[in-house]
Amino acid sequence: MTNETNESIRIDRRRFLGSSALGAAATFTAPAWLPRVARAGTASTGRDTVVIVFLRGGSDGLTMCAPHADPRLYALRPTLAIQPPGAPNGAVDLDGFFGFAPAMAPLLPAYQAGRLAVVHATGLQDPSRSHFDMQRWMEFGVDGVGSNGVFSGWGGRYLQTIAPVGAGQLRGLAIEKTIPRSMAGGPACTAAPTPGSFVMPGSASTATVRRATITTMHTGEPFPLGPAALNTFATMDLLATIDFTNYVPSNGALYPTTSFGAKLESAAALIKADIGVELVEADLGGWDHHNQLGPLNGQMATLMDELSRALAAFDLDMSDGTHAIRRTTVVVMSEFGRRASENASAGTDHGHGNCMLVLGGSVNGGQVLSLWPTLNANALDNGDLAITMDYRDILAEILSERMGCTSLPSVFPGFTPTVRGIVS
């Protein structure tokens, strides 16, 4: 074996162990579109597949879903606020009080069809405004005070508390470079930024020998290294049974030709293949707009357009007459919102309360679910939109009502959720 091949094996081993969780090895043969594997998907068990979209950077919920009937919005944001419906570039009215920013308009059909709900004045009740801290704690499912000794994610703990769907070779997939903290500790979870090309890195001419060598090195090796390496190969083989490249979305759905659009298209193909995946994550970053927010034609508008068009395409694609949209729930969230007041740089700084989006066939949609605190000076939380509804209320209800979870205290330690009626 050449020195080049030896070095490739060392590199491959590190890559595998950095992107895998535990699981059992399995081998499948590749067919055309849907895989010839036992149909082990969520439809047969009554469980949804939950898709998490994390908007990293702190998205501005007061722009995405503007409280246009709260007069304080226009005093706090004299140049940046989305104007009321009927005004030039005004909000797309939802319920007479809230409205989408114009760039979010592609989501209106799903909202009107009752498959999309907005949850406003929500988030994690913690005083930190640190991106790092708040992302970590929200993904772990705890607040800062309760974070000591917590190293697993809420999604990972959920998967630990319930038997897998089918054989359980792949229970959680992040369409990302690394496993998100929300899936940390979860059995059979892995990351694949492009699921259709999740193969041995390096030269194809040496892939077979490198795979055989790595398999020999890890066969019989104890937890965590051995199972992690072998599960990576099992995941490669399982994903290879799905022809992501030739996947044709249903109903003429057109995903934006962006990396996030490709992520959601891959998520749709994965879910329809019905191989037993229970959690999927696809993130969209870039929301930290301290200057030049651009809610109508700038950077914020561009991101909202990408987000809303991709979600609208996913909704249309999954509404194909099968179980897909009925058994799929998408949750869009961010670590915190932005300040209620605009700053001197035509932007918004780190804030607190925010909005979530919940999309799916089981969602009690067509509503903005909120205990609105108002934007009055005495109602703000240190200058920010106050949080009146914990984001874990939403996740906990989805897990219990749609995912069969009976161990919520294990998933969200130290937290007692309140039922909000977001799903049925």
Instruction: Determine the Cα–Cα distance for residues 266 and 194; give it in Å rounded to an integer.
Output: 8
Are 267 and 328 in contact, with CB atoms under 8 Å apart? no
Mean pLDDT in residue range 381-399: 98
Instruction: Determine the Cα–Cα distance for residues 393 and 397; give it in Å rounded to an integer.
Output: 6
Are 414 and 354 in contact, with CB atoms under 8 Å apart? no
Residues 6+ apart with CB under 8 A from 3: none
Mean pLDDT in residue range 347-354: 98
Strand 354-360 vs strand 189-191: parallel, antiparallel, or unpaired?
unpaired
20 strand-pairing partners: 190
Q: What is the pLDDT of residues 190-212, one digit of tens each?
A: 999 999 998 878 888 887 888 78
| Residue labelled with tokens 């700053």 | 343
Q: What is the pLDDT of residues 279-334, one digit of tens each?
A: 999 999 999 999 999 999 999 999 999 999 999 999 999 998 776 778 999 999 99
pLDDT at 273 over 90: yes
Are 64 and 304 in contact, with CB atoms under 8 Å apart? yes
Q: What is the reported pLDDT for 323?
A: 65
* Phi/psi of residue 169, nearest 5 degrees: -65, -35
Mean pLDDT in residue range 354-374: 98
Domain boundaries of the chain, sorted by first residue: 31-198+240-411
Q: What is the reported pLDDT for 232?
A: 80
| Residue labelled with tokens 């927010």 | 293
pTM, two decimals, is 0.88
Q: What is the pLDDT of residues 85-140, one digit of tens each?
A: 999 999 999 999 999 999 999 999 999 999 999 999 999 999 999 999 999 999 99
Q: What is the pLDDT of residues 210-235, one digit of tens each?
A: 878 888 787 887 766 767 777 788 88
Q: What is the reported pLDDT for 4?
A: 43
Are 262 and 269 in contact, with CB atoms under 8 Å apart? no
Average pLDDT for the chain = 88
Per-residue tokens: 6: 């030896």
Q: What is the reported pLDDT for 201?
A: 80
pLDDT at 32 over 70: no
Instruction: Determine the Cα–Cα distance for residues 411 and 153; give it in Å rounded to an integer.
Output: 8
Residues 6+ apart with CB under 8 A from 141: 153, 154, 157, 182, 392, 395, 411, 412, 413, 415
Mean pLDDT in residue range 10-29: 37
Residues 6+ apart with CB under 8 A from 71: none
pLDDT at 43 over 50: no
User: What does CATH list as the number for 31-198+240-411?
Assistant: 3.40.720.10
Q: What is the reported pLDDT for 42?
A: 52
Mean pLDDT in residue range 341-357: 98
Q: What is the reported pLDDT for 371?
A: 98
